Structure 1
Amino acid sequence: MTFKFAGAKAQVCKYCKYLVARTDRGLAKVGQVADLVEIPSPLQLGTLGYWDRKRFEIEGRVQLDRVGASSAPWQEFALVLQDTDETYWIAYAQGRWYWTREVSPAPELPALGRLRPGVQMQLPAAGPIVIAEIGRRKVVSAEGELPFVAAPGVPTPYVDFSGPNGLFGTIDYGDGQSIPSKLFVGRQFDPSTFKLDSGQPLDAPQAQVEACTCPNCGGSLPLVSPGTSERIVCKYCGTISDIRQGGAALEALGQAPRPPVNPYIPLGAEGMLRGNRVICIGFVVRGTTVEGERYRWREYLLYAGPSLGYVWLMEEDLNWQFVTPLPPGEVNAAGMEAAYKGSRYAYKQSVSAQVEYVVGEFYWKVQIGETVQATEYTGPGGIVSVERDENEVNTSFCQPISGQEIAQGFRIAPPPSPAAFSSFSGSSSGSGKGSGCSPTLIWVVIVIVIILFVILSDCEGGSSGGGVYVGPGFSGK
């Protein structure tokens, strides 16, 4: 076994799949990795090209999976600049490309126990950040040469964060024993800055729509994004399945209730919206309860290809919103206002939102009953939405879009009349991995309650010190 790159500290044997570490005493066997999952990518071991006119080669790849939510591994590529021997990690997630680099030596890192999704803080070597996700992960497979010694199968806590201007990073807290804590800091980048020797653009679609078979009814289910999707709900029988092995297999988990209405935009429909070619791959019905009344709304997940990733359309009472996910670090939300791109957005409402019905293909492990706290801020051009659960925070920007534009974009009939949804009308709010935007009915209800409370208080000769609970603020701001 020989090492090609001076900075490599470990290598995976291509014959026996053992990870071997390079030490001052020779080579040491660390552990065996699993077979690689075929996740489509223009990058492969040995890929050559230029990044911002700097010559590079892909020296290695790792595939990781979440602990407790396995079956949807993601991959990161170790890229070496040939002139400087510097190593970068390249990853693709939900339509965005990122690079990171290990900060060595690592600065003093915040204690894991005091971090929560949405917390804003200053981090040495990174600057102002927002905690985006907290979880546990493990290395499941790898190939080639690696700039660190991985421990296959060993769970380690991690924290993903983001900041202004595309800043992105990860804190890996290690296992408290043989695996030290590491800090990786980088940015989202434009894939057009990569020029591969193959001539293939980095953001080119890497997979055609693939067909898989429902493990319950045998129905044919198209997979639009098998490399990034994690769960699919059969449109024929409602079976919920985990997507395994990059779409090569499905594992049935149970039945989901059928939505009470058919999606206005059919699953699989392709169209053009806001200058982007999109395909409808998922349909979700969500709801919230206010003053004992249940309100529901509908969301459509659209896949816009590797360049843009996922976007949403949200509809309630035929009021439509075009929803674009944002990195959490691009939004500064605190108390009664949020800042985004230099503009201020005023607090509107905060509600608890639950998934009630779901069908189609999704980039997270969607579950019936999954609940998030969704907070909205209104301002120039639309709504900033911040959605949190105990593990992560998601942000998005919502802009009005007409039903006519949607109908023309998908070449379908205009939206039905409001009477078609009369039994399913109500207010709406975003949810963790859903669209994240809502119309105003809930806010109207809350305003009415506040007005009545003030009137009653005045009639009684003053306030009793009580109030109307609208929603929680943010911790750690």
Structure 2
Amino acid sequence: MAESNTQRRWRAACPNCGAPVEFASAASASAVCSFCRSTLLRDGDTLSRIGQSAEIFDDYSPLQLGATGRWMGQGFAVVGRVQRGSELGNWNEWHLLFDAGEQTRTAWLSEDNGRFVLSLEAPLAETPPAQPQLGAPLTLAGQRWQVAAVIQAALRAAEGELPRPPRAGRIVELRSPQGDVGSLEYPDAAAPVWSVGRSVQLSELALQGVRVTAEGESIAEARLKGRSLACPNCGAALEPRLAESKSITCGQCQALVTLPQSDVQALSFVNQAPGREPLIPLGRTGTLAFAGEAPQTWQVVGYQERCDIPEDAEDEQSFWREYLLFNRLAGFAFLVDTREGWSLVRTLTGAPASARGGVQWQGRAYAQRWVYGAKTTHVLGEFYWPVQLDDRVQVTDYSTANGTYLLSREKQGPEITWSGGQTLPAGAVQKAFNLTAPAAQFTRDASAFKDNSGTLLRNLIIGLFLLVLLFALLRACSSDSCQGYKDSFGENSTEYQQCRINAHSSSGGYYGGSSGSSYGGYSSGGGGHK
């Protein structure tokens, strides 16, 4: 920190244990004693003990107190941390003190669905609604927002210097079409604390003093290499490779294991039947690029199979697969494999603006395509959120008129998550990951994304005629009506077996069903507010 902040440092003894407690900012009103974990309230030159903080659980974050960095041309230091949790998981909020001379700026670096958001606290002249509704639009601080989460956040632990005593309370998260994230925190009956931020990558912050070893690897990587965990189901060794991982699948028995927050907690697991091997092996790396961005190397770290939830027994189910990709600088992305084609997507920091018949995002218009429920049926690998079998979400899918760009809105419990990306040719996926399997296993029919309004009616008429003809031909011959599923996914796949069941019960075809056009999407599974 600059000398101006150094001169303002203030030190006093903890009233509980006598250990020194130091404040780097005159504006900080609270701290947690690093020796006895007492929560302290500062009033002028007096410290008083107001409670006891739990121990910080080691989540293998690369950040730590004392780390420094730069953002928007100004230096900052990491001086405090609050660990919070809810039904969606646990997350960190790091308190940043900026080197701003006599002007103190309270900022937070928080986790946000596998990414980070840097937010600045600001005064709020108006009174926000008392009970914001999830998914509803909201105008606040001169900006249009969408309510993305309304949660009751528990206080897990705290450390270091904080702008106010840490407390549990309600948090309302807002997202804008400009990519901003707004947060209303209600720590008590007083006015809410308002902050506004944007997504950042740790590589942009010029961080120094983060947790690294003499060999240059992060403490998280070093700790993970030496972390000894046994599968609670079969006893096989579990080897998580990502500091962000909250769930992992046992490579021997395929039990889905929830990783503990600390080494003293017990592992919990859910058994799942062995599934088929993913087309792209776990651990494989490949080079892919989002539109307008430079290509980056991604590693497959997780895999999940999902399906839609039919409204009645006669509806055909759609199945798809999602590969969780990881890049050390870019974070996480998803490679989605559906029967309509491949797509590369990632979570959005903001939220699209509503428009007639759909939404708008980054200058593009997206039409609403499908609305459906979805659930997770099988998982492999590691995930940055506590993924569970039978996780259920409500999905709304959108795409541009030419089908190239996609958006997906997923609601799970008290949170709404948006993701966006673009379609990919099957050949690009094979080339990116150096895959040698037969091309038929990767080729998908992406025509369902197209929306050529000039020929739409004609195509519908032709399509109906061909479906009637195909139905008659299938009834007249003894060939396998589900050969398309068998060629693409294999004889033992869920898709093929489900198609055979439908064929016997209702003579359903390859592309029948009210939700057969769904391209899927993905769910962060509640990877954590912030």
**Percent of pairs identical after alignment?**
25
Offset at 1:425?
3.2
Distance 1:78 1:37 in 2: 20
Distance 1:52 1:213 in 2: 45
SS of corresponding position for 1:107: coil
Amino acid at match of 1:164: P
Q: Which of these residues, 231, 236, 255, is aligned with residue 239 of structure 1?
A: 255
Amino acid at match of 2:407: V
- In structure 2, what is the equivalent of residue 80 of structure 1? 98
Amino acid at match of 2:412: D
Offset at 1:43?
3.3
Q: Which of these residues, 119, 123, 129, is aligned with residue 100 of structure 1?
A: 119
Distance 2:435 2:334 in 1: 18
- In structure 1, what is the equivalent of residue 327 of structure 2? 305
Offset at 1:224?
3.1
Contact 2:63 2:211 in 1 (8 A): no
Q: Which of these residues, 199, 202, 205, is aligned with residue 194 of structure 1?
A: 205
Offset at 1:171?
1.3
TM-score, structure 1 as length reference: 0.78
Q: Which of these residues, 391, 404, 408, is aligned with residue 370 of structure 1?
A: 391
Distance 1:246 1:412 in 2: 38
Aligned length: 421
- In structure 2, what is the equivalent of residue 132 of structure 1? 148
Assess, with a 3 A threshold, how the Cα gap between structure 1 residues 193 and 367 changes in structure 2: closer, same or farther: closer
Distance 1:121 1:371 in 2: 27
Tell whether 2:435 aligns with 1:412.
yes
Assess, with a 3 A threshold, how the Cα gap between structure 1 residues 318 and 138 changes in structure 2: closer, same or farther: same
SS of corresponding position for 2:429: helix
Which protein is bigger by CA-based radius of gyration?
2
Assess, with a 3 A threshold, how the Cα gap between structure 1 residues 200 and 253 changes in structure 2: closer, same or farther: closer
SS of corresponding position for 2:267: strand
Distance 2:264 2:425 in 1: 38
Contact 1:314 1:322 in 2 (8 A): yes
Segments of structure 1 that go 5 or more residues without pairing to the other structure are: 428-438, 448-477
Amino acid at match of 1:265: I
Please list the CA deviations of residues 325-370 of structure 1 after superposition, one character each: whole Å capped at 9, or x if unmatched.
Answer: 22342x1245621111122112211111121222222222222222
Distance 1:157 1:270 in 2: 40
Distance 1:413 1:28 in 2: 67
- In structure 2, what is the equivalent of residue 348 of structure 1? 369
Distance 2:165 2:24 in 1: 16
Q: Which of these residues, 13, 38, 54, is aligned with residue 18 of structure 1?
A: 38
SS of corresponding position for 1:157: strand
Offset at 1:9?
0.4
SS of corresponding position for 2:104: coil
Assess, with a 3 A threshold, how the Cα gap between structure 1 residues 257 and 158 changes in structure 2: closer, same or farther: farther
Quick check: which one's strand share is greater? Answer: 1
Tell whether 2:296 aligns with 1:276.
yes
- In structure 2, what is the equivalent of residue 460 of structure 1? none
Contact 1:169 1:186 in 2 (8 A): yes
Amino acid at match of 2:297: R
Tell whether 2:174 aligns with 1:161.
yes
Q: How does 1:112-123 map to 2 (within 5 A)?
A: 112=131, 114-116=132-134, 118-123=135-140
- In structure 1, what is the equivalent of residue 489 of structure 2? 421
Contact 1:278 1:302 in 2 (8 A): no
- In structure 1, what is the equivalent of residue 447 of structure 2? none
- In structure 2, what is the equivalent of residue 172 of structure 1? 185
Assess, with a 3 A threshold, how the Cα gap between structure 1 residues 239 and 63 changes in structure 2: closer, same or farther: same
Distance 1:124 1:23 in 2: 31
Deviates further, 92-101 or 55-64: 92-101
- In structure 2, what is the equivalent of residue 89 of structure 1? 108
Offset at 1:16?
0.2
Offset at 1:69?
5.3
Assess, with a 3 A threshold, how the Cα gap between structure 1 residues 443 and 342 changes in structure 2: closer, same or farther: farther
TM-score, structure 2 as length reference: 0.71
Contact 2:306 2:378 in 1 (8 A): yes
Q: Which of these residues, 14, 32, 55, is aligned with residue 52 of structure 2?
A: 32
Tell whether 2:238 aligns with 1:221.
yes
Amino acid at match of 1:30: I
SS of corresponding position for 1:244: coil
Contact 2:246 2:386 in 1 (8 A): yes
- In structure 1, what is the equivalent of residue 525 of structure 2? none
Distance 1:421 1:396 in 2: 26
Segments of structure 2 that go 5 or more residues without pairing to the other structure are: 1-12, 14-21, 290-294, 442-484, 499-509, 519-530
- In structure 2, what is the equivalent of residue 267 of structure 1? 282
Assess, with a 3 A threshold, how the Cα gap between structure 1 residues 258 and 25 changes in structure 2: closer, same or farther: same
Structural RMSD (CA): 3.2
Amino acid at match of 1:88: A
Assess, with a 3 A threshold, how the Cα gap between structure 1 residues 220 and 158 changes in structure 2: closer, same or farther: same
Contact 1:205 1:305 in 2 (8 A): no
Please list the CA deviations of residues 355-398 of structure 1 after superposition, one character each: whole Å capped at 9, or x if unmatched.
Answer: 12222222222222222221122215322211223311121224
Offset at 1:192?
5.0
